Amino acid sequence: MCLRTILLSFLFLPMLAGCGIYSFSGATIEGKNINIHLLENKAQNVVPSLASTLTDKLRSRILSQTGLAPVSTDDADYDMSGAITSYTVTVSAAQNVQTATKNRLTLSVNIKFKNRKNEKANFTQVFTRFSDFDASQTLQNVENALIDDIGNQLADDIFNKAFVNW
């Protein structure tokens, strides 16, 4: 009986994958292509490579999880654009009220998403994530790792808002 169930599962699996509105990531995909614009960097503190780094993380997350084809046309099924609106470093923990023990890098991105297959799924939203680092370290020493970590979190949040309807 168990072997029979497994064989039937393998027979029906291609049908589910080929229907175009289901993926194993939990995403609902109704279109075939997406235009992901380069994020603008409108933050007061500008890191030269930040816009391209975050855009690449977002593009990689979406394309690897959806099977959508990237296009550069205005009539794509999905269109995503946005801007980095905040890049700040603050103290997140202190010792003896005067000495910082942890600092926090916070990034905010304003995303505009258009779903031409389902306009009810359109949104404009600010996504914010942060990562803490030891105050004994300089930002320059940990910045790339922090941006990588925060970028992955932001890409997940944006992907989930755009494509996962849980």
**Mean pLDDT computed over 59-77:** 93
Does the residue 4 lie in any domain? no
> Is residue 150 in some structural domain?
yes
Does the model's pTM come out above 0.85?
no
C-alpha to C-alpha distances, 99 to 46, 91, 92, 131, 142, nearest whole angstrom: 27, 10, 11, 19, 20
Mean of the per-residue pLDDT values of the chain: 85
Give pLDDT tens digits for 75-84: 999 999 999 9
In a domain? residue 53: yes
pLDDT digits (tens, 9 = 90+) for 82-130: 999 999 998 877 666 666 688 999 999 999 999 999 999 999 999 999 9
2 found inside a domain:
no
Distance of CA 53 to the CA centre of its chain: 11
Local confidence band at 70 (pLDDT 50, 70, 90 cut-offs): very high
Number of domains in the chain: 1
d(CA 21, CA 6): 23
Measure the CA–CA gap between 79 and 112, rounded to whole angstroms.
8
Give the range of the structural domain holding residue 44, as residue numbers without chain letter.
Answer: 32-163
Confidence of residue 166 (pLDDT cuts 50, 70, 90): low
- CA Rg value for the chain: 20
Element (H, E) at 88: strand 78-95
Report the range of poorest mean pLDDT among 19-33, 73-87, 130-144, 150-164: 19-33
- 61: domain CATH number is 3.30.160.150
**Residue 13, in any domain of the structure:** no
Q: Is residue 143 part of a domain?
A: yes
**Residue 74 in domain:** yes
Cβ(88)–Cβ(105) below 8 Å: yes
- What pLDDT, on a 0 to 100 scale, did the predictor assign at position 45? 87
In a domain, residue 110? The reply is: yes
CB 34 within 8 A of CB 68: yes
